[in-house]
């Protein structure tokens, strides 16, 4: 595993493949708890999908696909990476809301929401925002909606409907 070369704390493909066995075992009943644990720092979300584990696995069980399946199951169970990290959770939610509401990413608002909302996030991001304004890399105009934003909003609604019935 190439990640272990740079991060000795990474759980690695063997441990994550073992977690996969439990998460996808219908007899276990603790799938959500297990994907939360696997998704913590140095876990399933830190795999870079270099395919080395699958290429070198002596048992031909394809650990890379198992790790991707764990990520998919995490999302289906409503577990996002960085579950214990409030800023990461705010970032995911802001990213999702931005794409859902505008049809594309409003980076300015995502940054502000990720750092805690208009007051706290605005104050934290103010130096960066002012520098971007001075350099012509940002403007104060409201972020426009993307053409076809209503279709994207409908996709989000459909996704929520489908995932609600799967939980």
User: What does the domain layout of the chain look like in residue ranges?
Assistant: 2-76, 86-166
Confidence at residue 67, expressed as pLDDT on a 0 to 100 scale: 93
Rounded to an integer, the average pLDDT of 15-27 is 95
Rounded to an integer, the average pLDDT of 141-157 is 89
Better-predicted residue by pLDDT, 76 or 87: 76
d(CA 122, CA 38): 33
Q: Which pTM value belongs to this model?
A: 0.56
Contact 47, 16 (CB under 8 A): yes
Confidence at residue 64, expressed as pLDDT on a 0 to 100 scale: 92
How confident is the prediction for the chain on average, in pLDDT? Answer: 86
User: How buried is residue 53: exposed, middle or buried, by Cβ count under 10 Å (0-12/13-18/19+)?
Assistant: buried
Q: Which CATH class name applies to 2-76?
A: mainly alpha
Rounded to an integer, the average pLDDT of 59-74 is 91
User: How buried is residue 113: exposed, middle or buried, by Cβ count under 10 Å (0-12/13-18/19+)?
Assistant: buried
Confidence at residue 14, expressed as pLDDT on a 0 to 100 scale: 93
Confidence at residue 159, expressed as pLDDT on a 0 to 100 scale: 87
Contact 13, 42 (CB under 8 A): no
How confident is residue 84, by pLDDT bands cut at 50, 70 and 90?
low
The three-point CA angle 134-139-140 to 5° equals: 115
d(CA 46, CA 108): 26
Residue labelled with tokens 């009943």: 29
Joined together, the tokens standing for residue 148 give 């076809």
């Amino acid at each position: 595993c190439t990640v272990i070369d740079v991060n000795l704390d990474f759980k690695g493909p063997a441990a994550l493949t073992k977690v996969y066995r439990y998460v996808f075992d219908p007899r276990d009943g603790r799938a959500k708890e297990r994907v939360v644990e696997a998704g913590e720092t140095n876990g399933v979300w830190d795999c870079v999908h270099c395919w080395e584990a699958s290429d070198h696995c002596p048992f031909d069980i394809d650990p890379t696909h198992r790790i991707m399946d764990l990520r998919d199951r995490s999302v289906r169970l409503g577990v996002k990476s960085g579950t214990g990290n409030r800023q990461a959770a705010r970032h995911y939610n802001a990213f999702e809301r931005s794409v859902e509401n505008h049809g594309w990413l409003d980076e300015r608002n995502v940054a502000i929401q990720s750092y805690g909302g208009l007051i706290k996030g605005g104050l934290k991001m103010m130096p960066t925002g002012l520098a971007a304004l001075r350099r012509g890399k940002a403007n104060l105009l409201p972020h426009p909606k993307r053409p076809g934003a209503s279709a994207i909003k409908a996709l989000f609604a459909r996704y929520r409907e489908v995932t609600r019935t799967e939980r």
